[in-house]
């Protein structure tokens, strides 16, 4: 006789381990082409630190944004885990086509108004474009969840992508989804079940900066 007892929740759940990219270079392209900055020197050091820390965990797969700062952050993790990262276009940041990338600490010093707008969580400019990005991002992350039941998956991506998924889990609206300050190479964990349950396990873990305070740049 078949066992009709329901499976426990943990047996069909998976863990998303979001890793924000390391600190990038400050890039401004006057010709209007996408900035897509590489990691700064400290960003590479941050990426190596988080890879060393996460190498102690059992991770089944790595996904990464195609943007350069994410790809470069994923490389040490790929080496540490012996896995090849899978690139997914729809976990790119909302500023993918922007001709400039200004790290938040520089933005704060040079354009306080823009920094305060970002820090407040308000993202009301170009609402249709933002809404399209938001929907595609969440759809892609849900595909990853559905493909990896019972596994642990690292997703190397961006502050906006991480906040978008947290907003889904916590019920925030799209116009004000940027609620959390996630540091460079910080780790955020979400448990996701096949039944649709989403539970935020942690936000902005930076254990790998312990005894290395110079890496904790905003």
Burial class (CB within 10 angstroms; exposed 0-12, middle 13-18, buried 19+) of 173: exposed
* Rounded distance between C-alpha atoms, residue 117 and residue 63, angstroms: 30
pLDDT digits (tens, 9 = 90+) for 4-16: 444 444 456 899 9
* Higher per-residue confidence, 127 vs 215: 215
At 147, which helix (H) or strand (E)?
A: helix 127-147
**N-term to C-term CA, the chain:** 59
For the segment 45-52, the average pLDDT, to the nearest whole number, is 97
pLDDT digits (tens, 9 = 90+) for 76-87: 999 999 999 999
**Topology of the domain comprising 13-215:** Rossmann fold (3.40.50)
pLDDT confidence bin for 126, thresholds 50/70/90:
low
C-alpha dihedral over 54, 39, 61, 159, to 10 degrees? 90
pLDDT confidence bin for 3, thresholds 50/70/90:
very low
Q: What is the pTM of this model?
A: 0.87
pLDDT confidence bin for 218, thresholds 50/70/90:
low
pLDDT digits (tens, 9 = 90+) for 22-36: 999 988 888 888 889
């Amino acid at each position: 006789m078949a066992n009709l007892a329901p499976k426990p929740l943990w047996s069909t759940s998976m863990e998303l381990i979001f890793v924000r990219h390391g600190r990038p270079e400050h890039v401004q392209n006057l010709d209007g082409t996408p900035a897509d900055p590489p990691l700064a020197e400290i960003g590479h050091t941050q990426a190596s630190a988080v890879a060393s820390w996460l190498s102690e965990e059992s991770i089944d797969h790595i996904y990464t944004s195609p943007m350069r700062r994410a790809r470069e952050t994923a490389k040490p993790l790929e080496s540490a885990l012996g896995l090849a990262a899978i690139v997914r276009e729809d976990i790119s940041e909302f500023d993918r086509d922007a001709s400039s990338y200004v790290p938040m600490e520089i933005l704060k010093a040079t354009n306080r108004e823009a920094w305060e707008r970002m820090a407040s969580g308000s993202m009301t400019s170009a609402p249709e474009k933002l809404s399209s990005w938001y929907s595609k991002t969440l759809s892609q992350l849900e595909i990853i969840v559905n493909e990896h039941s019972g596994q642990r998956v690292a997703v190397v991506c961006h502050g906006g992508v991480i906040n978008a998924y947290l907003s889904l889990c916590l019920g925030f609206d799209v116009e004000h989804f940027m609620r959390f300050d996630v540091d460079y190479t910080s780790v955020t964990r979400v448990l996701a079940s096949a039944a649709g349950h989403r539970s935020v396990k942690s936000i902005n873990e930076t254990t790998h900066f312990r005894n290395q305070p110079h890496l904790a740049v905003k």
